[in-house]
Amino acid sequence: MYGFEYHKPSSLDEAAKLLADNEEASLIAGGHTLLPTMKQRLAAPSAIVDLGGIADLKGIREEGGNIVVGAITTHDAVAGSDVVQAKIPAMARLAGGIGDPQVRNRGTIGGSIANNDPAADYPAGLVGLGAIVRTNKREIPADDFFVALFETALEEGEIVKEVSFPVPEKAGYAKFHNPASRYAIVGVFVSRGPQGVRVAVTGAGPCVFRVKEMEDALSGNWSADALKGITVPEDELNADLHASAEYRAHLVGVMARRAVQAATA
C-alpha cells in the first residue's frame, strides 16, 4: 500500500468538496474492493474520503411504498432487516448470500453498485426490481446506472446516496457461486411488480443485463416451465478458469428457472 491522506467527512456536501479538491481521491465505504487493490499496490489514491461518518447514508426505511436503503448500509443490515424481509424477501436473501460474514459486515450496497463488479449480486437486484439510484445530484434508474464492466453512470464527484426499491408482487434470486471467491458465476433476479416483469442476470456477462425473451415469456405465464428452451447467446458472455461461456449460458437458464421457483410474494 502506498501512502495517502485520510478524510472522514460528516456530510455529503463535505464529501463532495473533498472529492473535488483532491484529484486522485477515492471514496471508501466498506473498502472490500478498494483496500485489497491498494494493498496489492494496484491502486494509489492520493486521498481516501471515508463515507462512514455520514449518518444520512445509513439505514433502511419505507417511503411512499418503496424500500429505501442508504448507500453505506451493510449487506448484513439488509439481510437482517425486518422491513426488507417482509417486503422484498428475495433482496434479503440476495444480501445474505454475498461473500461471507466478514464481507457482509463491512461491504455496503453503495460501494457494491458504484464498483459495478460484473460478478456482484446487487446489480441483478437493482435491475431485477427496477430500482432507482439517488445520488447527491440526481436520480438514475438502475437500467441506466450500470453501463459496462466496472463502469456506471456516475459522473465525476457524484456520490451514491441511497437506492429506492419498488416493492414487487413476487421476486426471486438464484445464484450459482464461484466456489473460490463466492461471487456470482451466474446470478438471476426475477420479479413481477410495478416495473413489470424483469429478469436480470449478473456474473454471466461483462455487466448486468436483462433477458427480454424470458421477461415476455414470464409476462404471459409466471412459471419456471415458461422459461424452458429459452437460451441466451454465449458469444458475449464471460469465460474464465471457473466457467466457460457455454456453461454460463446454460446456467442462466437453470438459475432463471430456479429464481422463479424460489420467488415469493
Partner 1 sequence: MPDSGVSRVLRKEDQRFLTGRGHYTDDLNRPGQLHAVFVRSEMAHATVKSVSTDAAKQAPGVVAVFTGQDMADDGVGSLPCGWVVTDKHGEAHKAPPHFPLVRDKVRYVGDHVAVVIAETRAQAADAAELVEVDYEGLDANADPAKALEGAPQIHDEAPGNLCFDWELGDKAAVDEAFSKAHHVSRLELRNNRLIPNALEPRAAIGEYDPGTDEYTLYSTSQNPHLLRLILCAFVLNLPEHKVRIVAPDVGGGFGSKIYCYAEETVCTWASKKLNGKPVKWTAERSESFSSDAHGRDHVTHAELALDENGKFLALKVDTIANLGAYLSSFATAVPTYLYGTLLAGQYKTPAVHCNVRAVFTNTAPVDAYRGAGRPEATYVVERMVERAARDMNMDPAEIRRRNFVQPDEFPYQTPVALTYDSGQYEKALDEALAMIDYKNFGQRRQESERNGKLRGIGLSAYIEACGIAPSQVVGALGAGVGLWESAQVRFNATGSISVFTGSHSHGQGHETTFAQLVADRFGVPVENVDVVHGDTGRIPMGMGTYGSRSLAVGGSAIVRACDKVIEKGKKIAAHLLEASVDDIEFDSGNFRVAGTDKQKSIGEIAFTAYVPHNYPEGVEPGLDETAFYDPANFTYPAGVHIAEVEIDPETGTTRIADWVAVDDFGKVINPMIVEGQVHGGIAQGIGQALLEEGVYDEAGQLVTGSYQDYCMPRADDLPSYRVGMIETPCPHNPVGAKGCGEAGAIAAPPALMNAITDALGTEEISMPATREKVWRIARGRLAQAAE
Residues that bind partner 1 (CB under 8 A): 1-3, 40-41, 176, 179-181, 241-244, 247, 250-251, 254
Cβ proximity to partner 1: between 33 and 164 the closer is: 33
Q: Which residue, 20 or 239, is less far from partner 1 as judged by CB?
A: 239
Any idea which residue has 487493490 for its cell?
A: 37
CA 261 to each of CA 81, 222, 227: distance values in angstroms, whole numbers, following the listed order: 23, 10, 11
Closest distance to partner 1 from the beta carbon of 107 (Å): 15
Tell me which DSSP letter residue 265 carries: -
Compare residues 1 and 55 and give the one whose CB is closer to partner 1. Answer: 1
Taking CA atoms, 190 is separated from 85, 168, 174, 212, 251, in Å, by 17, 10, 9, 12, 15
Q: What is the largest CA-CA distance in the chain?
A: 57
Q: How far is the CB of 251 from partner 1 (least distance, A)?
A: 7
To partner 1, the closest distance from the beta carbon of 40 in angstroms equals 7
Nearest by Cα to 94 from 245, 247, 222, 208: 208
CB atoms within 10 A of CB 115: 17
CB of 43 to partner 1, least distance (A): 15
Query: Nearest-CA neighbor of 263 among 193, 202, 165, 176?
Result: 193
Q: Which is nearer to partner 1, 180 or 265 (CB)?
A: 180
Least distance CB 183 / partner 1 (angstroms): 8
Whether 116 and 92 have beta carbons less than 8 Å apart is answered as no
Other Cβ atoms within 10 Å of 217 Cβ, number: 21
CB-nearer residue toward partner 1: 15 or 38? 38
Order of strands, sheet of 170-177, starting from the edge strand that comes earlier in the sequence: 170-177, 184-193, 196-202, 209-210
How far apart are CB 258 and partner 1 at their closest, in Å?
9
Q: Which residue, 3 or 64, is less far from partner 1 as judged by CB?
A: 3
